[in-house]
Amino acid sequence: MAFRVLIVDDNRLMRDMVKRSVELSGLEISCVDMANDGREALEKLRAAWYDLVLLDINMPVMNGEQFLQALRSDLALRDTLVIVVSTESSVPRIARLRELGAGFVHKPFTPEELIAAVRALLARPPIASRGETP
Amino acid sequence: MSLRASRLVADIAERMGFLLPVGELPDDISCTGWLRVVVPWSGPDGSAGSVEVCAEAQLAQTLACNILAREAGEVSAEDAETALGELANVIAGNLLPQLYGNDHEFHLATPSSQAGCCQGRREAAVEFMEGRLVVSVAATVHNTRLLRRGAQKDDGGR
């Protein structure tokens, strides 16, 4: 499976860095696209199909947690794979993100850690079949 | 200043920007003329403050080159400031839980470049092969739990 990846981060250098990590991870990629914040990411997801979203948390306009809540409330998008790529260390907040079905990679990270998170996420059943409420 | 915090900063800079740490610097080192990036944060019960990172220009430029995989002449001064801002963001996200505990939620605002030296309490000062970097944390702490945690940390460090 070749992945269409959407990287969501308000920092252009970090978007480039995440993109390079994706390319170095060994993951088969057919497309990498970028969004500056959660709102722009939702617009892109409604306009085109993406298999995987790599998501920052601290962003202006719509932050990562707000984006995840909106994504899981959207029947057409709720099964989208999301990995949070963040400095977030708060145990309660990470638990909330995991409850929303997201994988987690802590910044700074290596390409190996990223691919491990993707594999762990792929091994899980889709959101809808887990009976989770958005 | 804490050796633990300096080690954390050295590790982040090495993993994220491929900078090579040499050792800890004295905590009274002057950062006049260095680049300065401020990351405002807010925490529980009205606590707020900023994490400030000051670095020599050469370090910031090398950081930008390493992150963007470009040669020295291919990065701008703006790239260097942006790279230092993202490093500051990652340092802030990792340092605040180390200082105050990971049972609190901290929200970080967008880093901004500002003139002057780092304000607040010096938490880390590290020399890298590529230049020097210091980190300080200013806090307007109204939260008794955070205050208690900070006091315990101070006692433990003596």
Distance, C-alpha A38 to centroid of its chain: 10
The pLDDT of residue B158 is 35
**A-chain residues within 8 Å CB-CB of B82?**
11-13
**B-chain residues within 8 Å CB-CB of A86?**
93
| DSSP, residue by residue, chain A | -PEEEEEE-S-HHHHHHHHHHHHHTT--EEEEEEESSHHHHHHHHHHS--SEEEE-SS-SSS-HHHHHHHHHH-TTTTT-EEEEEE----HHHHHHHHHTT-EEEESS--HHHHHHHHHHHHTSPPTGGGT---
Q: pLDDT (tens digit, 9 = 90+) per residue, A71-116?
A: 999 999 999 999 999 988 888 889 999 999 999 999 888 888 888 8
pLDDT category at A50 given cuts 50, 70, 90 is very high
A84 is in which domain, residue-wise?
3-122
- 3-class secondary structure, B19: coil
The pLDDT of residue B28 is 85
One-letter amino acid of A68? L
**pLDDT over 70, % of chain B:** 88
- Model-level ipTM above the cut of 0.90: no
Task: Say which of B86, B97, B105 has its CB closest to residue A14.
Answer: B86
Q: pLDDT (tens digit, 9 = 90+) per residue, B64-105?
A: 999 888 898 899 999 999 999 999 999 999 999 888 888 888
Q: Give the alpha-carbon dihedral of A80, A99, B88, B128, to 10 degrees.
A: -90
**Per-residue burial over A47-56, b = 16 or more CB atoms within 10 Å of its CB, e = otherwise:** eeebbbbbbb
Task: Say which of B68, B79, B94 has its CB closest to residue A87.
Answer: B94
The pLDDT of residue A134 is 47
Chain B, nearest residue to A93 by Cα: B105
What CATH number has the domain bearing residue A107?
Answer: 3.40.50.2300
pLDDT category at B146 given cuts 50, 70, 90 is low
Q: Which region among A21-30, B5-14, B53-62 has the lowest average model confidence (pLDDT)?
A: A21-30
Residue ranges covered by each domain of chain B: 3-157
Q: Which tops the pLDDT comparison, B44 or B137? A: B137
Domain contains A91:
yes
Across the interface, whether the CB atoms of B15 and A16 are under 8 A apart is answered: no
The number of distinct structural domains making up chain A is 1
Q: Give the alpha-carbon dihedral of B117, B118, B124, B126, to 10 degrees.
A: -30
Task: Say which of A10, A13, A87 has its CB closest to residue B83.
Answer: A13
The pLDDT of residue B157 is 40
Burial class (CB in 10 A: 0-12, 13-18, 19+), B39: buried
The pLDDT of residue A88 is 83
| Residues facing residue B133 across a β-bridge | B55, B126
Does residue A108 have a cis bond before it (omega within 30 degrees)? yes
The pLDDT of residue B156 is 45
The arrangement of secondary structure in B3-157, i.e. its CATH architecture, is 3-Layer(aba) Sandwich (3.40)
